Amino acid sequence: MGMRTIRNRMAVACAMAAVAVFSTATPARAQEPHYLQALGELRTARDYMSYDKGQFNADRRHVVDEINKAIEEIKHAAWDDGKQTRFAPPGNASNGWAPMHYAQNALFAARKHVDQGIDTPANTGLRGRATQHIAEAQRTIDRIIAQGAP
């Protein structure tokens, strides 16, 4: 067997090994985008809450603080899940007429995505804490809306 044949066989073996490694290296749970989608929705809700600087400023700050806490929990859960949070969709709040209602819708969507995410042993409790922060933000928005905010 010549040197050229050995090199060709080595190249083929390396290529096959690389294909085998890369095809099995990504577990199925790393493909789930739920936490990243939740981050995008939370950022959207935060943008809506920051949009109108009218009345209810203390309540708005409380909602934004709760959203920020949820974002931090979700980032840690995503990192533990092997995700890069810088690739999460940015917030996309537009100048809507009813920012509170839009924020509430975004929080509802975020909570749905968080509930669908996997709570791995590495991030046990992060998902629950994020859900609690989202729920508190939702309760505060409900109170603001009941007081007459758009």
**Tens-place pLDDT, residues 43-94:** 889 988 887 666 788 888 999 999 999 988 888 766 655 555 555 555 555 5
Considering the domain architecture, whether residues 63 and 37 belong to the same structural domain is answered as yes
Considering the domain architecture, whether residues 81 and 13 belong to the same structural domain is answered as no
Considering the domain architecture, whether residues 68 and 25 belong to the same structural domain is answered as no
Residues 6+ apart with CB under 8 A from 55: 149
Please count the structural domains in the chain: 2
- Integer Cα distance of 6 and 138 in angstroms: 66
Considering the domain architecture, whether residues 26 and 75 belong to the same structural domain is answered as no
Is the confidence at residue 140, as pLDDT, over 80? yes
Considering the domain architecture, whether residues 110 and 53 belong to the same structural domain is answered as yes
- Integer Cα distance of 63 and 69 in angstroms: 10
Is the confidence at residue 99, as pLDDT, over 50? yes
- Residue numbers of the domain that contains 125: 32-146
Q: Of 24-38, 64-78, 115-129, which one has max mean pLDDT? A: 64-78
Longest dimension (CA), the chain: 86
Taking the model in full, what pTM does it have? 0.67
